[in-house]
Structure 1
Amino acid sequence: MVSTSNGNLEEDSKQQPEYDRRSEVEAFEDSKAGVKGLFDAGLTKIPRIFHNKKAILENNSAADAANMIIPVIDFEGLGGSRRVEIVNMIRDACGSWGFFQVINHGIPQDMMDKMLQNIRHFHEQDFEAKKPFHSRDVKKKVTYNSNFDLLVAPTANWRYSLYCVMAPNPPQPEEFPYICRDIMIKYGEHVMSLGCTLFELLSEALGLDPDHLKGMGCSEGLYMIGHYYPPCPEPDLTLGFSSHTDSGFLGVVLQDQMGGLQVLHQDVWVDVPLLPGSLIVNIGDTLQLLTNDKFKSVHHRVVAKQIGPRISVASFFRMHFQEGSDSKSLGPMKELLSEEKPAIYRETNMDEVLMVRYNKGLDGSSLLSHFKLTELTLHCPSDDLRPPVIDLAGVGVEDQRVKIVDQVREASREWGIFLVTNHGIPSGVLDGMIDGIRRFHEQDGEIKKTFYSREQTRRVKYSSNIDLFQSRAANWRDTLTISLSVSQHLEPEELPEICRNVSMEYITQVTRVGEIVFELLSEALGLKPSYLNELECARGRTFVCHYYPPCPQPELTLGATKHTDPAFLTILLQDQIQALQVLHDNLWINVQPVPGALIINIGDLLQILSNDEFVSPMHRVIANKEAPRTSVASFFTGAVEPPTTYGPIKELTSEGGTPALYKEFTVREYLNKFFGRAINESGLQLFRL
C-alpha cells in the first residue's frame, strides 16, 4: 500500500505567502535555462512551481516492495528453442506488470554508453549552443525544453529534455544537435530493429500472427526523448517525472546507473533495479487499448535526488505531431473480443491520443479514461430476467400475508429490489406527482434558480449531481430534493408552488407505504412486524425528484452512475421511460416500468442491520435521446437527529453462529462517509468488520 503522512504540509502551506504561479512559470520559461540553469545558479531552495504535494505526501521509498521484482527477460536464444519460453514470459509480464527489462537484446553496450554520454554532453554544453533548439512547437522535429506540459500541468518536474522525431519522417542530419547527431541516428536504427522484434513477440503473446501488430502500424513511428535530471537541492519536495502512463504503443528506456525510476505495482512504488546492459520495456496506453486491457499500461515516475545528474533516453513507438502523421483508426482488436469480453474502449486515432495527452498534461489521471466506454458496454442489459413483482392486495389477510412475506424475503435476499402493486396510493396521486415534478424542471430557469443550492441545511433545493465535486464524471440529470431527515414537519410554502399540493399528498401516502414495507421486511427476518419501525427506520426521509432530459450522446454518459443507496429503504416512483437497471448476477437487468407499481430497493443500512441477510444492489440509470424521464426516489434514512446508533440486529447474530459483520454507526456518520467520495462504489466496506 502506498503509505501517506499528513506531516506538516498543511501547516507549511498556511505559512507560505500567496504567489503568482503564472508569473513564475512565465519567468522560468522565458529564461530558457531550465532546471539545469537553476542548479548551475547554486539555488538551495527550489521554486514553488516545482512543489509537488503528492510527492510530499507519498512515501518515496519502496521499502514495502522488497519482494517485488520487475521481470527480467533474457533474449539469448530467441531465434531457437527458447522463443516459446520468452513469449510466455512476455505475456505474463505485460499482463501483470506492464514493465519488464530485457538483456541480450542486440544493441551493443558501447553504443548505449555513447548514447547516454552524448545526451549528457548536449545538456551540459554552453547555454547558447542549446538555445536554438528551445521551442514548444510540437510540429518541429527536434526541440528542447523543460516539461512539455509546463503551461498546463499542476506542478513542474525537475528535468530538461531533448525531443526528436526519429520515424517515419526523421529530420535531416543537419537538423540534429551536432554534439549527438551521429549516435542518435545509429541508436535510433537499432531501437527500430528491436521494436520490430518486440512487436512480433507481443503479437505471439496475444495468440496472433507475429506480424499482426506491425501490420497495424505499431512499429512505424518512433519518438525519442533524452532526459537530463540535475541534482536537486530539495528532492523531497518534487519529482523528476510525475506519476504517469505513456501514450504510445510501446516504450524502450535506456537509463544510466543513477536509479530513480519507479513502477506502481499493487499500489506500491517498486524501484526499477539497475541492471547493466539492460533496456526497460513498458506497455503504452494505446497498446492497452488495442489489447482491450489484456496488456497493462501502468503508472511510473522518477524521483528527484540530491546527487546526479541522471540521464535516460526514452524511445516511444508512436507517431508524433507532423504533416502526414498517421491518423488511422485505433480500437480494441476484434480477434480479442467476444460476447464475454466486449470492447472496453471506443475507437480513436493517434492524433486524438496526443491531443488529450498534451492538453491534460501529467495530471496524475489515466489517459485511457478519456476513451473508455461507459458502463453500458461492460455488461449487456438482459431482458430474460426481471425483478420480482409482488402484489400487496390481501396484505391484511393472514394467509395471504404469509405468502407476501415469503416473496419479500426471497426478493430481498436474491435481488435486493422488487416491484409492488396494489400498494394503496391512488393512480391519480402517482401520475400527479410525476407531472408536477416534470413541470417544475421544465419551467423557466429564473424560477428554478430561487431553489438552487448546495447547502446541506437547506430542506428544499434544486441542483445537478450531489457528488459533482467528488465524482470523476457528471451524470445527465437535475434534481429537486425535499429533506425531512431531521425535522419531520414541512410547511407547504417551502415547496415549489407548481408541485406543492401533490408533493404534500404523495409524501404522506408513500410514508404510509414505507411503514407497511418495513413491517413485511421485519417479518421476513423472523422478527415482530413492528421491529424496524420501532427502530425508527422510517423516521428520516428524503425525497429526490430527478429529471433526465433527452441526451444528444447517450452512449457517452449515464443518467445516474452505478451506486447503492445510503438508506434503509428506497421507494421509487418512475414514469414509463425505460432507463433503470439493476446489477444481478453480473448482468444489468432492465427494470421495466409497470403501470401503477412502485419499486422497492433495499439500502446499505438495511443490509447492515440484516447482517447481509438482505442485499443492497448496485443500480444505475442509462441516458436516452428520445424523451425526458422523471422519477421520485423516497429514501428512508432513519433517525438522523438526535443521533441513534445502529448495527447488525442482535437477534440475527450469535457468538456461536453468525457473528456481526459490521461495526455500529450513526446515520450521520454513514452519510458523511458515503458522500465524502465518489458514489460508484458501495459504502458497505467502510463499515465492514
Structure 2
Amino acid sequence: MEVDRVQAIATLSLSSSDIPAEFIRPETEQPAITTFRGAVPDIPAIDLSEADEEKLVKLIASASQDWGMFQVVNHGIPNEVVKKLQSAGKEFFELPQEEKEKYAKPADAKDIEGYGTKLQKDVQGKKSWVDHLFHRIWPRSRINYNLWPDKPSYYREANEEYCNYVREVAEKIFRCLSLGLGLEGHAMKEALGGEDLEYMMKINYYPPCPRPDLALGVTPHTDLCSLTILVPNQVPGLQVLKDDHWIDAKYIPNALIIHIGDQLQILSNGKYKSVLHRAMVDKERTRISWPVFLEPPPERVVGPLPQLLTEDNPPKYKPKKFKDYAYCKLNKIPQ
C-alpha cells in the first residue's frame, strides 16, 4: 500500500475519541476555531435553464468574479443519472480493501489517476481525512479503463452516462464565462484545448471522524484545473473563504457546485477568481463528493487571453504548459 488508507484508520477509530496526531491540524486551520459563525451571504445559486442568455451570462460572470464559485440548479442532468453515479462510487468504496487496492495508483506513476490517499505534498507532514479515486472520463483517447473499477458491474455505464450530460453543462458555462468577458462564446474553451479538453473524475471519500473539530478532509486550496463541476452527497462539509471568513456552502438538493479554477483565473488575467476552499468531515456520517476537473491537455500552454490585454491591463501571469503548472502546484514549488 502507498500509505495507510483513511477508511481503515476511521474503522479503528470508531471506538475511540482520538485520531492519530498527523491528522490534527494546526490551530490556525482547525474547523472548530476557524469556521465563521456569524451571518453570511449564501453562495450564489443560479438557474441554468434561464431563457434570457444575457441575464444568465451576467449572473455567472458576477459570481465568478465575486465568489469564484456558484451552484447551479435545473442543469439538465436527470436525477436518476446522478443517483446512479453516486451509488456506483459509494459501492466501490464499500468493497473489501484488497479489491480497491487493485486500482491503486502505482508508486512510480507520474499521473494522479488511480485509487489513493495522499495527493499533495504537505510541508508539515500532516494528513487529510480522505481517500480518493481518480480517472479520466473524456476524451476517449485519454481514458485508461484499467483504472475504472469493474465492481459494481454498472460502474462504467454510470460514469459514461454522467459524462455525456456533464459535458453539456460545461459547454454552457464556458460559453457564459466567455461572453461575460466580452469575448466570442467559444473563446474560453478553445484557449483550453477545445475538443481535447480533459475531464478528470475524482471521488472523495471522507469516512466518519471522531474529531471533526480538529481534522480536515481537504486542506485549503484552489483547484489547478480550469473549471470544477461537483456532485455532493447530502452530508455538508464544503467551506469557502469569503471576505477572510470560512463559511459553509449550503446544501441544495439536486444542485451542482461549480468552482472556478486556476487556469480560468489565468486566462481572464485575474478577472475570474480561483476560489480558495476546504472540506470538512462529519463525526457520524460518511461524506462523498464527485468533482470533475476540466483540464487542458498536458502540453497546452495557458496564459492570459491576448484579446483581454491592454496597456492598462498588462498580463499578470506567465504562460505555462499545463503539465508544468500542475507539477509545481502539487509539489509546492513556486510558479
> Which residue is equivalent to 2:205?
547
CA RMSD of aligned residues (A): 2.3
* Residues 368-447 of structure 1 aligned to structure 2 (within 5 Å): 372=27, 374-376=29-31, 377-382=33-38, 384-394=40-50, 397=51, 400-447=52-99
> Which residue is equivalent to 1:522?
178
2:211/2:283 contact within 8 Å kept: yes
The aligned amino acid for 1:413 is: Q
RCO (CA 8 Å, sep 6+): is it higher in 1 or 2?
A: 2
Indicate whether 1:622 and 2:280 are aligned.
yes
What is the CA-CA distance between 1:482 and the residue it aligns to?
0.6
Q: CA 1:651–1:570 in 2, change beyond 3 Å: closer, same or farther? A: same
> Which residue is equivalent to 1:654?
310
> Which residue is equivalent to 1:464?
117
Measure, in 1, the Cα distance between the counterparts of 2:38 and 2:141.
40
> Which residue is equivalent to 2:132?
479
User: Over residues 450-508 of structure 1, what are the superposed CA-to-partner deviations in whole Å (9 max), with x where a residue is unaligned?
Assistant: 11124535675100121256563111011010135886443656511212221121122
User: Over residues 110-148 of structure 1, what are the superposed CA-to-partner deviations in whole Å (9 max), with x where a residue is unaligned?
Assistant: xxxxxxxxxxxxxxxxxxxxxxxxxxxxxxxxxxxxxxx
> Which residue is equivalent to 1:584?
242
Give TM-score, length-normalised by structure 2.
Answer: 0.85
The aligned amino acid for 1:477 is: V
> Which residue is equivalent to 1:450?
102
Q: CA 1:392–1:537 in 2, change beyond 3 Å: closer, same or farther? A: farther
Measure, in 2, the Cα distance between the counterparts of 1:589 and 1:603.
19
Measure, in 1, the Cα distance between the counterparts of 2:26 and 2:259.
33
Query: Which of residues 129, 148, 164 is equivalent to 1:495?
Result: 148
Indicate whether 1:667 and 2:325 are aligned.
no
Task: Give the match's secondary structure for 1:479.
Answer: strand
Q: CA 1:658–1:412 in 2, change beyond 3 Å: closer, same or farther? A: same
Task: Give the match's secondary structure for 2:217.
Answer: strand
Indicate whether 1:645 and 2:301 are aligned.
yes
Q: CA 1:469–1:621 in 2, change beyond 3 Å: closer, same or farther? A: closer
> Which residue is equivalent to 2:6?
none
> Which residue is equivalent to 2:259?
601
* Residues 39-78 of structure 1 aligned to structure 2 (within 5 Å): none
Measure, in 1, the Cα distance between the counterparts of 2:142 and 2:321.
22
1:603/1:616 contact within 8 Å kept: yes
Aligned length: 306
What is the CA-CA distance between 1:446 and the residue it aligns to?
1.3
1:382/1:589 contact within 8 Å kept: no
Task: Give the match's secondary structure for 2:213.
Answer: helix
What are the ranges of 5 or more consecutive residues in structure 2 without an aligned counterpart? 1-20
Larger Rg: 1
Measure, in 1, the Cα distance between the counterparts of 2:300 and 2:238.
32
Measure, in 2, the Cα distance between the counterparts of 1:627 and 1:531.
42
Structure 1 segments, 4+ long, off by >6 Å, are: none
Task: Give the match's secondary structure for 1:635.
Answer: strand
Task: Give the match's secondary structure for 1:430.
Answer: helix
What is the CA-CA distance between 1:373 and the residue it aligns to?
5.7
Q: CA 1:550–1:426 in 2, change beyond 3 Å: closer, same or farther? A: same
Measure, in 2, the Cα distance between the counterparts of 1:676 and 1:500.
31
Give TM-score, length-normalised by structure 1.
Answer: 0.42
User: Over residues 301-332 of structure 1, what are the superposed CA-to-partner deviations in whole Å (9 max), with x where a residue is unaligned?
Assistant: xxxxxxxxxxxxxxxxxxxxxxxxxxxxxxxx
What are the ranges of 5 or more consecutive residues in structure 1 without an aligned counterpart? 1-355, 357-368, 678-682
> Which residue is equivalent to 1:513?
169
Task: Give the match's secondary structure for 2:98.
Answer: helix
Task: Give the match's secondary structure for 1:557.
Answer: coil
1:417/1:602 contact within 8 Å kept: yes
User: Over residues 323-344 of structure 1, what are the superposed CA-to-partner deviations in whole Å (9 max), with x where a residue is unaligned?
Assistant: xxxxxxxxxxxxxxxxxxxxxx
2:192/2:302 contact within 8 Å kept: no
Q: CA 1:406–1:451 in 2, change beyond 3 Å: closer, same or farther? A: same
Q: CA 1:381–1:504 in 2, change beyond 3 Å: closer, same or farther? A: farther
Q: CA 1:645–1:492 in 2, change beyond 3 Å: closer, same or farther? A: closer
Task: Give the match's secondary structure for 2:100.
Answer: helix
Measure, in 1, the Cα distance between the counterparts of 2:54 and 2:25.
52
> Which residue is equivalent to 2:12?
none
Query: Which of residues 291, 294, 314 is equivalent to 1:633?
Result: 291
1:451/1:460 contact within 8 Å kept: no
